[in-house]
Amino acid sequence: DTAVSQTPKYLVTQMGNDKSIKCEQNLGHDTMYWYKQDSKKFLKIMFSYNNKELIINETVPNRFSPKSPDKAHLNLHINSLELGDSAVYFCASSQDFSGNQPQHFGDGTRLSIL
């Protein structure tokens, strides 16, 4: 069983479209995250939810809207996609929000904007 699963694995779309990426974890964790890895391979935090509550919201355009229907899911919706949104998006989860808990990552969603 995959611990943290993201769908789709690849997403190719045109500028201006709206798309969603789904994430589910079956580890029973309380905290979930979205990270963005750009072409230079820098991995940066975007959002974090703890028990369905938003706790981290980095400087991300408001075109990005996370939604957590329950503790096991954290979806990412992106409106009006731009070329600069092309990247790999990783979902992760951890037992709780304390820094010494390991984070478990999904295998990423590669988003390509044409």
Partner 1 sequence: LAKTTQPISMDSYEGQEVNITCSHNNIATNDYITWYQQFPSQGPRFIIQGYKTKVTNEVASLFIPADRKSSTLSLPRVSLSDTAVYYCLVISNSGYALNFGKGTSLLVTP
Euclidean distance between CA atoms 31 and 46, whole angstroms: 14
Q: Is-contact 85 113, C-beta < 8 A?
A: yes
Q: Which of 14, 39, 41, 59 binds partner 1 (CB under 8 A)?
A: 41
Q: Is 45 in the site for partner 1 (CB under 8 A)?
A: yes
Report the residue number, 67 or 104, with the smaller CB distance to partner 1. 104
As given in the structure block, the two tokens for residue 58 are 């980095």
Q: Which residue has the tokens 């939604």?
A: 67
Q: Is 28 in the site for partner 1 (CB under 8 A)?
A: no
Q: Is 32 in the site for partner 1 (CB under 8 A)?
A: no
- Tally of CB atoms within 10 A around 74: 28
**Least CB distance to partner 1 at residue 16 (A):** 28
According to DSSP, the β-strands at 109-113 and 10-13 are parallel
Q: Is 103 in the site for partner 1 (CB under 8 A)?
A: yes
**Least CB distance to partner 1 at residue 85 (A):** 19
As given in the structure block, the two tokens for residue 9 are 């694995």
Per CB under 8 A, residues contacting partner 1 are: 4, 33, 35, 41-45, 48, 56, 90, 92, 97-100, 102-108
